[in-house]
Amino acid sequence: MIKKTWAKWQSGHIGRLLGESLRSQGWLYGISMIAMVVVAATTAGTAWMMENIVNTMTEPEMRSQVYLVAGAVIALFFGKAAASYVQAVFLARAGNRIIAIQQERLYAKLIKRGVGFFSRNESSSLLLRVTQGAQAAKRLVNVVVTSFVRDLLTLIGLVFVMVYQQPLLSVLFFVVGPVALVSVRFLLKRVRSIMRSEMAALSEIIKVLQETSGGITIIKVFALEDHMAGRMNGAIKSVEKRANSISKLQAVASPLMEFLAGLAIAGVLVISTIGIAGSAPTTAGQLMSFITALLMAYEPAKRLSKMRVVIETALVPIGMMFELLDEEEPMRESPDAKPLVAGPGEIRLKDLSFGYKGNANVISDMNVTFEAGKTTALVGQSGGGKSTIFGLIMRFYDPDSGTVEIDGQDLQSASFASLRQKISYVGQETFLFSASIMDNLRFARPDATDEDVKEAARAAHAHEFISKTTRGYDTPVGENGAFLSGGQKQRLAIARAILRKSEILLLDEATSALDSESETLVKTALDKLTENVTTIVIAHRLSTVLEADKIIVIQEGQVIEEGNLDTLIEKDGMFRQLFDQQFKQPVSEGRSVSQDPV
């Protein structure tokens, strides 16, 4: 039975967390444990010394030892104080290091996950696992170490003093102790389920805060303040209710222990008074030493009885943390991955099929070649698979069947670093880090000089507005570029791509947030950027792709038409319909396509 229980312990989250923590922070915990042993010894020694203290004060023949006893008392309390300080400092250092290690591991795991993982998991849930899981790990390790070293040894030492001084009276303690432990067990049944509900409510609070921060404009426009406040208040009340339930369960242990301790002390008083404590005469010092030990045993016994409740509350977030750490990573670099060979940047999709998890295929049996150094446009209705093609080329996902090749090399056999280095991307929704303009641009090429950065900004026609900001290139952009307009953010994104100088450029509605004047300027910059670069453009406004070397029409995950502008117009197929819809009128033989459809 003991072996089975120990095996279960080792295989669980507690055993795993303790093993990892004690291995990584063994010396810190070792010093802390030595200090705990000293605390336990001096606590028991204090109860033991009560016999000498009382006897020195009450028995004339003992008064000659008063200075010796006083010195011993000073030494005991000084030793306990010093050991308590060492224990607290090193235990805190070890616990804080555990938090740091777990958060580093969690973030390292997250940053390697594929894009699909972040689509499936809400950011509030991930944030909760990184913060609450690491904090719970520290809390659990600390409570286990302190309970099984300091509290348990202290209790054993005090029980030894009690038994030595008054064996018969100590029987009361052995009756009360098990009753207290059994009484606490019923508290544990509901703790874990309450904690799961509390974690879900905490996640909702974080989610509402994120949505409020990111969507404040929509909230104001549609007068959703009351709705959002209602969601937040509901989540807060849910957390409050469950926190109160946990506190109630934790609080039961203390009054229960106090009542049982009172019964024990009352029993000691009655038994010692009526003279049945033992056949041998009892001195006042022995009785006082026993009572002191009994009273001092209350605190460590109470902490031990509450330990299980604390562990149960910590296990839920720790379980969520390990669930994230243990989840298999579907997007892994091949063990024998090789850098992409130097080449012009030709991209081929061969017999490619792909569907998001749990959904039907988005792309089916697609065969496409994106010629090196040429510009290819992908057009078609929304949901046809154009952005998915970008995701597969950047290897955010792996195909269900078929291959994606760059210069004849399957991407699944290529290293991530070489693939990322070969590709630049400008999306419809530009993301900027909460840093300066200079830092945001230099992320594309960390070794770029200031002049390189400024040259790229000039090429993207961003230098003029940057120069007008308060601190120029050192101006902070705010959270996700909150201090910039949509057009300014997009020009910075294009400047990043220009600075990177990759062989392949992916543009997803790269000029959608620009006004007509800025769009004209940026198109000029893109023309320069795309020279001799394999460029793939996704565009819903056909005016942005009319000069592409090849246009591919995608519908329901399949290529239904491809060719240059003239070929597709003459074909009178899907592209011709889209063209006529956007330009408002059918195109005649002597057509003019300079008109902007918007």
Residue pair 152/37 in contact (Cβ under 8 Å)? The answer is no
Domain membership of residue 588 (yes or no) is: no
Domain membership of residue 484 (yes or no) is: yes
Domain membership of residue 408 (yes or no) is: yes
From 262, 293, 326, the end of a domain falls on: 326
Q: Render pLDDT for 73-125 as a digit per residue (tens, 0 to 9).
A: 889 889 989 999 999 999 999 988 998 888 888 888 888 777 777 777 777 77
Give the C-alpha separation, 270 to 440, whole Å.
Answer: 78
Q: Does residue 1 carry a pLDDT above 60?
A: no
The answer to whether residues 70 and 123 belong to one domain is yes
Give the C-alpha separation, 458 to 467, whole Å.
Answer: 11
Residue pair 147/301 in contact (Cβ under 8 Å)? The answer is no
CB atoms within 10 A of CB 551: 23
pLDDT at 85: 93
Burial of 158 (0-12, 13-18, 19+ CB in 10 A): buried
**CATH of residue 499:** 3.40.50.300
Domain membership of residue 595 (yes or no) is: no
Q: How far is CA 20 from CA 3, 23, 367, in A?
A: 21, 5, 49
Domain membership of residue 590 (yes or no) is: no
pLDDT at 90: 92
- In this structure, which amino acid lies at residue 316? V
Domain membership of residue 597 (yes or no) is: no
Residue pair 393/330 in contact (Cβ under 8 Å)? The answer is no
Q: Does residue 284 carry a pLDDT above 80?
A: no
Point out the least confidently predicted range of 6-15, 33-42, 121-130, 213-222.
Answer: 6-15
Closest C-alpha among 360, 361, 456, 341 to residue 409: 341
**Phi and psi torsions of 416, nearest 5°:** -60, -40
What share of the chain has pLDDT > 90, as a percent?
Answer: 12
Residue pair 561/571 in contact (Cβ under 8 Å)? The answer is yes
**CATH of residue 188:** 1.20.1560.10
Domain membership of residue 184 (yes or no) is: yes
pLDDT at 598: 31
SS3 364: strand
Element (H, E) at 557: none
pLDDT at 277: 45
Tokens found for residue 294? 């009994």
| Average confidence (pLDDT) over 539-548 | 77
- Sheet of 550-555: strands edge to edge? 423-426, 504-508, 534-538, 375-379, 550-555, 558-563
Tokens found for residue 476? 């902070």
SS3 38: helix
The answer to whether residues 315 and 407 belong to one domain is no
The answer to whether residues 147 and 203 belong to one domain is yes
Q: Render pLDDT for 252-283 as a digit per residue (tens, 0 to 9).
A: 656 666 666 666 666 666 666 665 444 444 67
Does the global pTM surpass 0.95? no
The answer to whether residues 13 and 79 belong to one domain is yes
pLDDT at 240: 74
Give the C-alpha separation, 91 to 31, whole Å.
Answer: 9
- DSSP tag of 544: G
Residues ≥6 apart with Cβ < 8 Å to 180: 256, 257, 260, 301, 305
Q: Render pLDDT for 345-355 as a digit per residue (tens, 0 to 9).
A: 899 999 999 98
The answer to whether residues 94 and 241 belong to one domain is yes
Domain membership of residue 171 (yes or no) is: yes
Q: Render pLDDT for 481-537 as a digit per residue (tens, 0 to 9).
A: 878 887 788 888 888 888 888 889 998 877 766 667 767 777 776 777 777 889 999
Q: Does residue 325 carry a pLDDT above 70?
A: yes
Count of alpha carbons within 13 angstroms of residue 70, beta-carbon side: 6
Range of the domain at 317: 2-326
Strand pairing category for 550-555 and 558-563: antiparallel
Closest C-alpha among 507, 500, 426, 492 to residue 462: 492
| Average confidence (pLDDT) over 392-401 | 88
Q: Does residue 34 carry a pLDDT above 90?
A: yes
Q: Render pLDDT for 125-156 as a digit per residue (tens, 0 to 9).
A: 788 788 888 888 888 898 889 888 999 999 89
Element (H, E) at 222: none
CB atoms within 10 A of CB 183: 16
Residue pair 205/239 in contact (Cβ under 8 Å)? The answer is yes
